[in-house]
């Protein structure tokens, strides 16, 4: 016997995974996590017995529910799983999976369309962060076809805009959790920053790399990965996060001057595998560092003038543009971060859970 669980399998930005109505899952978080591990087929490097795609970017799950909080329409809990590990991390955000939240809610009848486009306020439970998400809904249905393109996803899709409202200090105590815009930790000059995702930023040449290496070369660079992990653990303590050995954050990001017309070139580790692109909230956080005086981006980043800045973050498969609005009274304060994503419903149906894992009781 197996337990059937309704799901929509969706792509959100450059990630994908199953989405669930949170009410359909066990209320006990320990049982819920066992269910999610069974859904994805973890722990197993190939995730051969589940829906996981044998990579951190395809080992993600979204849980959505209607919100009872004033002014909030939906609540989203993101779960990061790892192919070979039995961990379910609901601490960090995922801005890519976030792009599929409103389409999921519309597809399941959790909410109704507002007209030609629908804007809903979403609370990310992981970090208590709010954002406004706008989806195209002609004729009351979610549109997936369109002329928007994001690097890392083939073809064109309907645009989904995400306007983040309060990203600073999403996991850490503040935007600059060490209290400094720049520190020297473990012998390396770094900027420890959290504007939606805790990151450790460092110049690639500080660890003997160019910052233009391919993803495959960086993933095969055992010496570099060992050096970055040692630095990551030290920075975790400095950021007030404690021992981050078993955590998915902070992420490590190598920086280099732009070479494709953007603002800055990046290689992002998530945290032990080099990302083919860069995460949504990681891009927001990198862009934020670019406008902070004295950060490690100084001398590398090409930043436009004005209080509203379009920062183009280059990554291995293209670029990610972030629009930042600075406070006119304090340029170090980021009032708004907006960006473009796309999403697509890939499959709807039921995923089967072994009854020994969960018998369906709440």
Distance between CA atoms of residues 133 and 286, nearest Å = 21
- The pLDDT confidence band at residue 90, using thresholds 50, 70 and 90, is very high
Give the residue among 1, 75, 2, 16 at the shortest CA–CA distance from 344. 16
Please give the residue that has the higher pLDDT: either 150 or 122.
122
pTM, rounded to two decimals = 0.79
Distance between CA atoms of residues 274 and 266, nearest Å = 10
Q: What is the DSSP letter of 110?
A: S
- The pLDDT confidence band at residue 1, using thresholds 50, 70 and 90, is confident
Give the residue among 341, 344, 312 at the shortest CA–CA distance from 164. 341
| Region 152-179 average pLDDT | 92
Q: What is the pLDDT of residues 322-345, one digit of tens each?
A: 999 988 888 778 888 999 999 999
Q: Does residue 362 have a pLDDT over 90?
A: no
What confidence score (pLDDT) does residue 152 get? 86
Give the angle 327-290-258 at the CA atoms, nearest 5°. Answer: 145
Average pLDDT score, the chain: 95
What confidence score (pLDDT) does residue 61 get? 98
Q: What is the pLDDT of residues 17-60, one digit of tens each?
A: 999 999 999 999 999 999 999 999 999 999 999 999 999 999 99
Distance between CA atoms of residues 273 and 218, nearest Å = 8
Distance between CA atoms of residues 192 and 181, nearest Å = 7
Q: What is the pLDDT of residues 204-230, one digit of tens each?
A: 999 999 999 999 999 999 999 999 999
Q: Let me know: does 279 contact 197? Beta carbons within 8 Å.
A: yes
Ordered domains of the chain (ranges, CATH): 2-159+343-354 (3.10.310.10), 183-338 (3.10.310.10)
């Amino acid at each position: 016997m197996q337990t059937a669980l309704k799901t929509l399998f969706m792509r959100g930005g450059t990630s994908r995974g199953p989405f669930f109505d949170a009410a359909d899952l066990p209320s006990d978080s320990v049982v819920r996590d066992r269910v999610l591990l069974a859904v994805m087929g973890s722990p197993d490097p190939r995730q051969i017995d589940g829906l996981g795609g044998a990579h951190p970017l395809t080992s993600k799950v979204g849980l959505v529910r209607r919100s009872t909080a004033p002014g909030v329409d939906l609540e989203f809990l993101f779960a990061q799983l790892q192919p070979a590990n039995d961990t379910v991390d609901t601490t960090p955000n995922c801005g890519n999976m976030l792009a599929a939240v409103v389409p999921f809610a519309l597809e399941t009848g959790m909410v109704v369309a507002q007209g030609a486009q629908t804007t809903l306020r979403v609370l990310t439970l992981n970090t208590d962060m709010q954002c406004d998400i706008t989806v195209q809904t002609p004729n009351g249905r979610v549109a997936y076809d369109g002329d928007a393109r994001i690097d890392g996803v083939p073809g064109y899709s309907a645009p989904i805009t995400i306007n983040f409202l309060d990203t600073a200090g999403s996991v850490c105590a503040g935007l600059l959790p060490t209290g400094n815009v720049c520190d020297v930790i473990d012998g390396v000059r770094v900027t420890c920053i959290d504007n939606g995702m805790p990151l450790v930023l460092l110049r690639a040449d500080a660890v003997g790399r160019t910052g233009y290496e391919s993803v495959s070369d960086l993933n095969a660079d055992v010496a570099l990965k060992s050096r970055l992990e040692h630095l990551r653990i030290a920075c975790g303590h400095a950021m007030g996060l404690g021992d981050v050995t078993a955590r998915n954050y902070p992420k490590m990001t190598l920086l280099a001057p732009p070479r494709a017309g953007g603002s800055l070139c990046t290689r992002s580790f998530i945290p032990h595998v080099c990302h083919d692109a860069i995460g949504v909230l990681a891009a927001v956080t990198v862009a934020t560092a670019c406008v902070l005086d004295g950060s490690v981006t100084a001398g590398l980043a090409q930043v436009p003038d004005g209080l509203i800045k379009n920062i183009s973050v280059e990554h291995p498969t293209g670029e990610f543009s972030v629009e930042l609005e600075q406070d006119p009274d304090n340029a170090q304060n980021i009032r708004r971060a907006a960006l473009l994503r796309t999403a697509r419903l890939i499959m709807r149906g039921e995923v089967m859970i072994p009854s020994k894992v969960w018998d369906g009781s709440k």
